[in-house]
Structures are given as C-alpha cells and as structure tokens.
Amino acid sequence: MESVHAIELRHITKRFGKVVANDSIDLTLDRGEILSLLGENGSGKTTLMNMLSGIYFPDEGEILVGGKPVSIRSPKDAFDHGIGMIHQHFKLVNVFTAAENIALGLPGSGRLDRKAIAAKVREISDRYGFGIDPNKKVYDMSVSEKQTVEIVKVLYRGADILILDEPTAVLTPQETDRLFRILRTMREDGKAIVIITHKLHEVMALSDKVAVLRKGKYIGTVKTSETSPQALTDMMVGHSVTLNIDRPLPVDPTPRLEVQGLTCLDAEGVKKLDGVSFTAMGGEILGIAGIAGSGQRELLEAIAGLYPVAEGSILYSPDGKPPVNLVGKPPMEIKKAGVAMAFVPEDRLGMGLVGGMGMTGNMMLRSWRKGKGVFVNRKDPNALALEVKERLEVVTPSVEFPVRRLSGGNVQKVLVGREIASSPTVLMSAYAVRGLDINTSYTIYNLMTEQKMKGVAVIYVGEDLDVLLELCDRILVLCGGQVSGVVDARSVTKEEVGLLMTRVGGGKEDAIHE
Amino acid sequence: MNAVLLLIYNAVLNGTPLLFGTVGEVLTEKSGNLNLGVEGMMYMGGALGLGGAFYYEMLAGQNASGLLAVLLAILCAFLGGAFGALIYSFITITLRANQNVTGLALSIFGTGAGQFIGEYMRTTSGGYVAISNQLKAAFMTSPLPAALQNIPVLGPLLFQYNVFVYLGVIIAVLMGFYLRKSRSGLYLRAVGESPATADSAGINVTRYKYLATILGGGISAIGGMVYIMTIAGCVWNHEGLSGEGWLAVALVIFCLWRPISAIFGSVLFGALMILYLRLQLPFIPDQIYKILPYVVTVIVLIFTSMRNSKDKQPPASLGLAYFREER
C-alpha cells in the first residue's frame, strides 16, 4: 500500500559557513504517529526541524507536504501548510493573556474580539484536555502552562503537523506525563507529531518510530517496538574514534575539591543539581559528561560561587591547610580564602572576556586589584598578554586589538591563557573547544594536560565523548542533575558512557525511579 | 476667575504641548523604539508650524482663513517631526544603530534645525515673525460657542481652551483605544514587548516599528507647534521651547506608557511648570519649582519599580534593535 506521507524530506542539506549541519537527510512522517528525532547535541535535529518551520531554508533537497513539493520560507508559510513548531524557548509575550498571545498575527477584524478568541481557545482546550484559562497572563503561568499555550497557539492556527523541540527539558515528571497524555490524544486525532529529544526512556514510552541523527547525518529510522535503548544508543553515539591525545598517568593525585550532596535550584524552583557528590584530585583531569542541560553549567558556576547552592558542601583543600567550605561565599571571598580557581565559562565572550577590549585589557580584568593607588598598572598585564600571545600562538595584529574581532579559537586561547597564568590549583573549563578547529583543539588539550602534570585539579566539561575518553583520567557522568556514574576513562567504553548519560544502565538511579 | 480655577486653566494650557509630545512618544515606545529625539522633533515642529501659518498668511493676505492656517500649521509640524523620526527609524531599525545615541543626536540636530529655520524666518522678515491678530485668535481662543464658554465655573474649566487642548485629548483617547482594543494595537504592543515572538507569528516587525515611530514623531512635533502658537504667542524667540521634549520623555514614564493617563499627567506637569507664577513662597527660587516635574517622575519610577508590578513596566524590548537572525 503506497499512502501519502504527511511530510517527506528528500536529501535535505544545510550548511552554516563551512559547517554542514544537515547532510542529505531523508525522513518521512505519517499522520496519526509520533516520531522521535533522536541525536546528541549538535547532531542537527533542531536545524532540520527549523527548515520545516520556516526559520531556515534548505541549501539543497526538497520538502513534500501531503505529497506535494513545497517551499517554506517563513513561519507563516509553515502555518499555511499546517506545520506548527513549539520551540524550546517559548515565543510568548509575558504581559499578554493566553488568548492575546494566541491571536497574535492572525488576520481578522480591526477590533479585537477578545470574547470570541477566548471561546475558541476554550473549545480547543477542552477537546484535548489542556485546561488553560484564556484570560490568564503569561507572567503568572508555570513553565508547563506556557508550553500548553504554545501548543494551543499552533492548534488554533489549524496545524496538524506538530514539532516539539525538547518539550520535556523544562518539565517536572508529572508535567511530562501530562504532556504525553495530550500528545497521545492528538495522535488519536490524526495529527502527525515530531518530538526532538535525547532522552531515551521518553522515546521508548511515547513514540511509534525513532529517527536517529549523528553529526548532521541521517543514521536510520526504526520502529520503537522493534528496538531497544541499547540499540538506539549505539546508533546515537556511533563507534569510537581514536584521537591520539597524549595522556600521561596522573602523578601523586591528592584530593583538592570535595563536593558533597550538592543541590541547586533555579529561579523557578526546579532542581538543576540533585545531590551531586564527587572528589576532584590535583594532578588529574576529571571529565564531566552528560547531555547538554544536565547540570554541567550549574555545577561549575556553583563551585565558582556564581550559582546559589540550596544544600550540600564544597570543600576545598589548599596545600597544607585545613579544608574550607566554599558554599555561600561570594566569588571574591572564594579567592581571598586562598582558592586560586580559574574558570573558563561556556559563553566565552559573555562571561569571560570583554569583547571591545584588547588582550592587555582582558588580562587586567584578573589583576586589577593588585595595583596600588588610583592608576592601573598596565605594564604587567601587557607583558602577560605578550607571553600568552607568544606561547599559545594567538593570531592577533597586536595585544591591543579588540578580542571580539579575533576568531573563536584565538578568543579561547586568550581566555585559557589568562586563567592558566594565574597559576590555579583548580582549573575548570566548560566546552573549551566548542567551535574550534582540530589543531587549536589539540593546543587546548595539551594545555590542560600540562596543568594536570603541574598538580592542578582540572575539571573539563566536554561534549565530544571521544575526546573525554582520551583526555580525562576519570569521567563523571551527569544525567538530569544527578550523578549517574563516575568511571575510569581508560577502561570504560563509549557505549557505557552513552548509556549512563541517558540513565539506562545507571542501575541505582533507575531503581530509585521505579 | 478665582485663583484655583486660574491655576487649573493655565495648567491645562501649559500641559497641552506636553500631551502631544507624550502621546507621540508613547506610540513610538510601544513599538520598542526609545526615541530620545522628542526635543528635537518638537523644535522642528515648532519652527515649521509657525512657518506654515506665517507664509500662508503672507501669500493669502487679508483673505487668510483661520481654520486653514491651523490645519497648515498642524500639517507642517507633523511633517517636520515625521521627517526627524524617519531619519531616526532608518538609523535604528534598518541600520540597527544604538537608539540612545541616535535619539540624542536627533535632539541636537532637531534643535539646531528648528533654531535655524526660526532665525532664518525672523531675519528675512525683518527681525520679527508673527502672524496677524485675526489668525492668532484661531490658534489661541476657544472654538466652542460663547454660550458654553460663559457658563460659570464650568465654562473656564472645560470650554474656554484653544482648539489644540481638545485635539490633544481626542488623540490621547483614540490612542488609548487603539492600543488596548484594536487588533493592530495588540500587534504593535507585541512588537515592542518581544519582536521575535511577533516575527514568528507573521507580524511585519519592521513595518510596525517604522509606522509607529514616524507617526509618533509627527504627533510629538505638533506639541512643539502648539507651544509656539499658544504659550509663546505665535512668535519665534531665541529660547524656543527649551526642555519641553525632555519633560515629555519624563511624562511617558510618569504615565506608565498609557495615553489616557498622559492627559492627567500633562495637566499635573503643566501645573508644576507654572506653579512659580501662582504660588510664590519666600526664599524659594523659581528653579526649585522648575525641577518639580522631574522630581515627581523620579518618585514615580521609584514606586513603580518597588511595586514590581509586571503590568506597569516599559515595553520589554524598549531600546533594543531586532535582528531576525539571532532568534
């Protein structure tokens, strides 16, 4: 039987500069089914779906909706074809009511008939059991309610193909269950649904089919009933690649940083870290693996004193002194307590460097307290800038050249170079090689290893499992804010880490959840 | 007229230029554009509005119609302000330059341009620009029937004002209605709150921003003309209307971006501006009185931020340029 697919993608390719985000991808979606789009971060899931929702336009390939080739150039085109996307970051106006948000951009009479809109919103709401109040202001809503408004918004526009980008990332387990019930009701109603996710248990629980992407390439589609979490993980992470990163054995590791039962809540009261405990040793590299948003950033920021800690302790042991608890101390005091901690943030130009200043100026951001009197000392930072430029081969016309205009790799080198120059005892870095080319990445790896050999406790948050496996001595795996395992990087396999990242096989945690 | 009535009457008269300036700027800011060029646009409006009436009378001579003079003054002032706002829009919306810097530049430019035009008119017409008393009456006296004006108390309180007072109130009420009740007003507010949301809902962000800013600039500029043609007595002087535009910017904050509140706010600010003439206290210099509107604005700002009411905040994307590619 040859039925017409709701959506068919043929050889879709999308490039951003030199990076191929999607490489000749084929995909089909039928009515009355839920398809999970599975893949690691940077595998191109969101890019692919953004081409359906009109945010990007494919460089090559064609999109067929209901069997007919279409050209989707704007979100409005997508709506016209019945495609609605619910983004990870909600597109809602906070000071408007649910009904006002839903009515945005729709044609209609000049006078706004709030009652008629509210009535139609209620009708949709009742049909699928959303239970939303059309007259409630968005700023009074929970995350789950906001998401519901987004869903109603696309249904109101008559969408019968729904794309949800990591819809459960911000939800509590109860809210997730509720969402899944809604999605199943919509499937019964004949809608076609795509859910982008990297949580395997959700894939298994919800979807009919699973399509897997890896590094921009389409790996395959399988029926959920005919696969297993193990098989999906293998498809997702692929086989190990040998990188030949130089990894000497740790010399005389000593406990430097002891984290015990660390729990952090975000502004909405959602647990970002849940009872995290581990020890970082001087003289070794501790890798932190996990799917993006598993609490890596919060963990580093909590240690650096930038993220509020709800519970737990962070004990820092300086050389030959009793341990100090860093919790509750402001960043400056953490420094004063004798802790020399270098923090290479995720967002290098946002939190680490001032884009408009040159290398010298940025070096001074670390040392401005050292000078005496009202005048700044430019001589030492200048010397340091020149040294960093020399040693790390930063390509810049001069040390006064604004760092914003350097390439990503060079910006990264400036940041890492500055942090290392403060001779830290703990060096934390998050996504230090994000967006860098191979050679620059190796320079950064070697710097980390060099610091490790000096007895520094290096904490390295990375995305690429291959790198973590070859660079680190131990790997701490985070999943949903909890530690799902600490493994020896020399003996563990990529598949084992992959499973820990998605909790499957995490044994202990699974037991807790049952 | 007793003292209180006189104070109210003068407060309304002095508040009217502010009302135009404020309502125009509210429209602009609702689209997310913080146009600090109100002062400049009002200057241009003042000079061009006076010029429109002045040259019209020069051409028409004895037959000059008061109504036509008023309409021409409004049109010229509006076009002057709209032109200034168009420059601002192009620089901030299309070229995405910093709104604060651009607005300040427009203030300086507009003040200069207004002064230049005003002085040019003055020198070329023999050192004094003024229109005839017959035309002045059209600008400065009430258009309403004498029967209404002569009602005791209510007459001076409601019916003796010049035509611009009523026009200003009508524009403010219409604007309030537009923003709250119309579909297009909702879309405009969405643009000012979250352009990315509006864009993804298929609303043409650029068009809304341009239209609101240009229209708002034109309305603000009418306020400048009203000042010159009513309070300044239809005469161009060196001082022009210094400070009116800045007060209007303050009044936008004071009235919490609500045109209807701007009506009452402008009367209050008008009263504060002339208080030194009506209520003279020993040892207190005029200058103290003149800072009162700003003091009140600061107090309101403190209270609204303390109250932390989410409804009484500036448009969320006010002052930010919108790049579609960043979403």
The average pLDDT across A321-344 equals 72
Which band of pLDDT confidence, cut at 50, 70 and 90, is reported for residue A507?
A: very low
A510 pLDDT exceeds 60? Answer: no
Are A328 and A219 in a shared domain?
Answer: no
Q: Which residue of chain A is at minimal alpha-carbon distance from B315?
A: A95
Would residue A353 count as lying in a domain?
A: no
Q: Please report, rounded to a whole number, the percentage of residues in chain A having pLDDT higher than 90.
A: 16
Q: Which of B181, B185, B197 sits opposite A92 (nearest CB)?
A: B197
- Sign of the dihedral through C-alpha A90, A96, A100, A106: negative
Q: Answer yes or no: is A451 within a domain.
A: no
CA end-to-end span of chain A: 41
pLDDT higher than 90, residue A255: no
Give tens-digit pLDDT for A82-104.
998 888 788 899 999 999 999 88
- Same domain? For A228 and A96 the reply is yes
CB contact under 8 A, B202 and A75: yes
What integer pLDDT is reported at residue A243 of this predicted model? 67
**Is pLDDT at A505 greater than 60 in this prediction?**
no
Q: How far apart are CA A498 and CA A43, in angstroms?
A: 15
Using DSSP's 3-state secondary structure scheme, residue A265 falls into strand
Closest chain A residue by Cα to residue B310: A95
Residue in chain A closest to B311 (alpha carbons) equals A95
Q: Which domain holds residue A478?
A: 250-340+457-514
Looking at A187, A204, A237, which one is the last position of a domain? A237
For residue A183, is pLDDT > 80?
A: yes
Percentage of the residues of chain B whose pLDDT score is greater than 90: 57
Assess whether A38 and A182 both reside in one domain.
Answer: yes
Q: Tell me the average pLDDT across A107-136.
A: 87
Tokens of B201: 């809902």
**Shortest Cα–Cα distance, B32 to chain A (Å):** 13
State the nearest Cα–Cα gap between A411 and chain B, in angstroms.
Answer: 21
Q: How confident is the model at residue B26 (pLDDT cuts 50, 70, 90)?
A: very high
Residue A440 included in any domain: no
B325 has a chain A CB within 8 A of its CB: no
Strands (E), A151-202: 161-165, 192-197
Residue A344 binned pLDDT confidence (cut-offs 50, 70, 90): low
Dump pLDDT digits (tens) for B299-327.
Answer: 877 877 776 677 778 899 999 888 876 43
- Select B3-326's CATH number: 3.40.50, 2.20.230, 2.40.160, 1.10.3470: 1.10.3470
pLDDT in tens, B65-86: 889 999 999 999 999 999 999 9
Which of B182, B185, B190 lies nearest to residue A93, judging by beta carbons?
B190
Which of A180, A207, A237 is at the close of a domain? Answer: A237
Residue A421 belongs to some domain of the structure: no
Per-residue pLDDT, A162: 92
Paired with A111 in beta bridges are B182
- What pLDDT does A340 receive? 60
- Mean pLDDT, rounded, for B290-297: 82
Is the domain of A101 the same as that of A175?
Answer: yes
Q: Which two tokens stand for residue B234?
A: 């239809």
pLDDT at B240 over 80: no
Q: A399 lies in a domain?
A: no
Instruction: Say what the pLDDT of residue A421 is.
Output: 78
**For residue A199, what is the domain's CATH number?**
3.40.50.300
Report chain A's mean pLDDT, rounded to a whole number. 82
Contacts of B200 in chain A (CB under 8 A): 55, 75, 91
- Residue A475's pLDDT is 92
Of A173-177, A297-301, A309-313, B252-256, the poorest mean pLDDT is in A173-177
- Judge if A106 and A255 occupy the same domain: no
pLDDT one-digit tens code per residue, B192-234: 999 988 988 888 999 999 999 999 999 999 999 999 999 888 8
At which of A177, A202, A237 does a domain end? A237
Q: Is residue A367 part of a domain?
A: no
Average pLDDT over residues B55-71: 89
Q: What is the DSSP string of A55-67?
A: SS--SEEEEEETT
On the question of pLDDT at A333 being above 80, the answer is no
Q: What is each CA distance from A252 to A246, A249, A283, A295, B1, in whole angstroms? A: 18, 9, 7, 29, 96
Asked if B189 has any chain A CB less than 8 Å from its own CB, the reply is: yes
Q: Does A259 lie in the same domain as A146? A: no
- Give the model's pLDDT for residue B327: 39
B233 φ, ψ (degrees, to nearest 5):
75, 35
Question: Do the beta carbons of residue A473 and residue A250 sit within 8 Å?
Answer: yes
Residues A194 and A261 in one domain: no
More confident residue, A302 or B219: B219
Q: Do A108 and B183 touch (CB under 8 A)?
A: yes
Q: Which residues of B touch A95 (CB under 8 A)?
A: 189, 193, 310-311, 313, 316
Q: Report the pLDDT value the prediction gives residue B30, as an integer from 0 to 100.
A: 96
DSSP state of A301: H
- A23 with A165, same domain: the answer is yes
Per the model's pLDDT, the better-predicted residue between A386 and A510 turns out to be A386
Nearest CB to A104: which of B187, B313, B316? B187
Average pLDDT of the residues of chain B: 89
Residue A30 confidence (pLDDT) above 70: yes
What are φ and ψ of residue B243, in 5° steps? 95, -20
> Are A132 and A162 part of one and the same domain?
yes
Closest Cα in chain B, distance from residue A102 (Å): 9
Total domains in chain A come to 2
Q: Are residues A162 and A62 in the same domain?
A: yes
What's the pLDDT at B89? 96
Residue A386 counted as domain residue: no
Judging contacts by C-beta atoms under 8 Å, the chain A residues touching residue B198 are: 93, 104-105
Instruction: Name the minimum distance, in Å, from the CA of B217 to any CA of chain A.
Output: 24
Q: Is A150 on the interface with B (CB under 8 A)?
A: no
Is the domain of A70 the same as that of A188? Answer: yes
CB contact (8 A) between residue B183 and residue A75:
no
Distant-in-sequence contacts of A224-228, Cβ < 8 A, 24+ apart: A224/A36
Angle in degrees, CA A498, A503, A506, rounded to 5: 95
Determine the average pLDDT of the residues in A410-423. 79
A68-90 burial: b if 16+ Cβ within 10 Å, else e: eebebeebbbbbbbbbbbbbeeb
A163 and A295 fall within a common domain: no
Q: What is the distance in angstroms between the CA of the first residue and the CA of the last residue of chain B?
A: 61
Distance of CA B302 to the CA centre of its chain: 24
Beta carbons of B190 and A91 less than 8 Å apart: no
Is residue A416 within 8 Å of residue A429, measured between CB atoms?
yes
Please give the ipTM for the structure prediction: 0.84
